[in-house]
Amino acid sequence: MTYRLLNYRDLKNEFGLERKRVWAMVRKGRFPASVEISPGRPGWRRDDIEQWFADLPAVPYAGADKCTD
C-alpha cells in the first residue's frame, strides 16, 4: 500500500490549516496523529486527513434560516 504524506505546507495549501492549529488539535485528540518522515520532520497520511476533513460536521450558513427562496 502506498501513502502520500503531507507536510505543513501541504496542510496549509490544501486544507487551510496552520501549523499551530494542527498541533493544538493533535494534542486534544481531534486531528490524526503524524508519522515521522525523518527525525524532527512530521508528516500526515493524505488518506487520514481527507477522512478527517470529510467527517467534519456541516455548519449551516448563519443566515440560512432567514432565506426566503
Please give the average per-residue pLDDT across 3-32, as a whole number: 93
| pLDDT reported for residue 67 | 54
Given a cut of 80, is residue 36 above it in pLDDT? yes
pLDDT at 51 over 60: yes
Identify the helix (H) or strand (E) that includes residue 45.
Answer: strand 41-45
Evaluate if pTM is beyond 0.85. Answer: no
d(CA 11, CA 15): 5
Residue 28 has pLDDT above 70, yes or no: yes
